[in-house]
Amino acid sequence: MTCLCFILAALSASPKCNCPVDSILQAILLGVIEGVTEFLPISSTGHLLIAQHWLERRSDLFNVAIQAGAILAVTLVYRLRLLDLATTWRDPGTRDYLAKLATAFGVTAVGGLIAKKLGAELPETVVPVAWALIVGAFVIFAVERWNRGRPIVEAVTWKVAVAVGVAQVVAAVFPGASRSAAAIFAALLMGLSCRPRAAEFAFMVGIPTMFAATSYELHKTLGNPAAVQAESWTELGIAFGVSAAVGFVTVKWLMKFISGHSFEPFAWYRLGLGTLLLVML
C-alpha cells in the first residue's frame, strides 16, 4: 500500500502528459489503485482523487464505473455465497439476511439521491481527502480499541443494516472516509464484532450499491451527447477490467488477513498518507 505514496510523489515531480499511450497507462494505474483500495479501509475514491491530482482528471462516470469493476470481483469471490442465497431464499434465515441487505441498500440509495439533490460533488482538491484520511484513522483506532476483548458476535441485526446504509452515505459525501471502512466499522459499533462477518456484509451491500451508482452515472452520461463524446470508453473499459482483476486478489487477501489481525495497520497508513498530503500541498 505504501508504494502508492512513492508513485504519487514521483508523479508530482513530472508534468501531465496527454499522449494516447500515457493516457492508457494512467487508466491501468488507476485500475490497479482502485482494485487495491476499494476493499481496504483506506478509501478508493480518495486514492483516485489523489492520483488524479497529478494525472489526467477523469469523469464521475469513470471514477464510479471502475469501482463497479472492483465490486465485480466481490461477486466472484462470494459466488458460492450468492448462489446459496439465491437457491435458499425460502429459508427464513436467508430471507432475513436478504431483507437486511435490502434495507442497508435502500438507506444508501435514498440517502445518496438526497445528497446528490443537495449538490454533493467530488472535491476539486485533495485537502478534504487528506483530512478525511486522518480523521478516519483515529476512528479506526477508537473502534478497534472499543471492540477489543468483546465477545465474538456474528449475527447481523436490523440496527447493523441501518447503520451500514447510513455509513455508506456518509462515506459518499466525504471522499476519503472510505465506503468499506465506514460500513465495516458501523457494523462493529452496532455489535457485529466478528470482523470477517462485518466485512462480508459490507461487501455484499456494496454489490447493489456500486452497480446502482454506476447505472445512475451511465444514464446521466448517455443523456448528454457532449459527455458521451468526451468520455474515453476504451480507457474506462481497461480500468474496469484491471480493477476487477486486482480487486479479486485483494479481497481474498484481506479476508485472510482480518481473520487474525485488526484493522489498525490501515489506520497507520491513512494517518501517514493524510499527513504526507498536507505537507506536500
Mean pLDDT computed over 38-58:
84
Q: Select the more confidently predicted residue: 33 or 214.
A: 33
Is residue 14 situated within a structural domain? no
Is residue 38 situated within a structural domain? yes
Q: Which domain holds residue 152?
A: 22-280
Count the domains in the chain: 1
Is residue 111 situated within a structural domain? yes
Contacts 24+ apart (CB under 8 A), 106-110: 106/165, 107/161, 107/162, 107/164, 107/165, 107/166, 107/168, 107/169, 108/165, 108/168, 108/169, 108/205, 108/209, 109/209, 109/212
Is residue 3 situated within a structural domain? no
Is residue 7 situated within a structural domain? no
Tell me what pLDDT residue 23 has.
Answer: 85
Supply the angle between the helices 92-117 and 79-87 in degrees, to the nearest 10.
110
Is residue 17 situated within a structural domain? no
DSSP labels for 240-266?
HHHHHHHHHHHHHHHHHHTTTS-SHHH
Tell me what pLDDT residue 54 has.
Answer: 79
User: Is pLDDT at 142 greater than 80 in this prediction?
Assistant: yes
| Interval 110-121: pLDDT, tens | 998 898 888 777
Mean pLDDT computed over 193-219:
88
Under the banding of pLDDT at 50, 70 and 90, the label for residue 3 is very low
Is residue 48 situated within a structural domain? yes
Q: Which of 51-55, 149-153, 192-196 has the highest mean pLDDT?
A: 192-196
State the CB neighbour count (10 A cutoff) for residue 143: 20
- % of the chain beyond a pLDDT of 70: 93
User: Is pLDDT at 249 greater than 50 in this prediction?
Assistant: yes
Question: Virtual CA dihedral for 23, 24, 27, 28, nearest 10 degrees?
Answer: -140
